[in-house]
């Protein structure tokens, strides 16, 4: 998909609304990407993360709540590091919105 978009941008050039409209027609929307994805079974994800089956309350095969009893089991283990990352969208100033939130 990226190759198609890159080829399209080089074909129509980087200037003018035509290239923006053409690039948008090639890049799938968020909902198209989400609908094309095949979710992994939550029990597999939980197992890979070291959770025990009895620590989950399953809601189908792709959703679950984690029981608070996991905190008792893990309280003596060292804390891990959590790294969260969300999407970064360019805006008219050319900066990623998640970098400085409009502050200069």
Q: Bridge-partner residues for 60, per DSSP?
A: none
Q: The tokens 């198609």 sit on which residue? A: 4
Full-prediction pTM beyond 0.85?
A: no
What is the structure's pLDDT at 51? 95
Instruction: Please report where in the chains the tokens 């027609």 appear, as a residue.
Output: 25
- The model's pLDDT over 27-85, given as tens digits with 9 standing for 90+, comes to 889 999 999 999 999 999 999 999 999 999 999 999 999 999 999 999 998 888 877 77
State the DSSP string of 56-84: EEEETTTEEEEPTHHHHHHTTSPP-----
Quickly tell me which residue has 């009895």 as its tokens. 54
pLDDT at 66: 95
């Amino acid at each position: 998909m990226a190759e198609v978009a890159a080829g399209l941008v080089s074909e129509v050039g980087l200037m003018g609304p035509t290239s923006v409209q053409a690039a948008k027609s090639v890049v799938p929307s968020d909902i198209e990407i989400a609908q094309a994805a095949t979710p992994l079974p939550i029990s597999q994800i939980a197992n890979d993360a070291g959770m025990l089956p009895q620590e989950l309350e399953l809601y189908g095969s792709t959703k679950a709540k984690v029981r608070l009893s996991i905190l008792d089991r893990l309280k003596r283990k060292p804390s891990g590091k959590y790294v969260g990352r969300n999407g970064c969208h360019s805006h008219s100033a050319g900066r990623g919105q998640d970098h400085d939130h409009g502050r200069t």
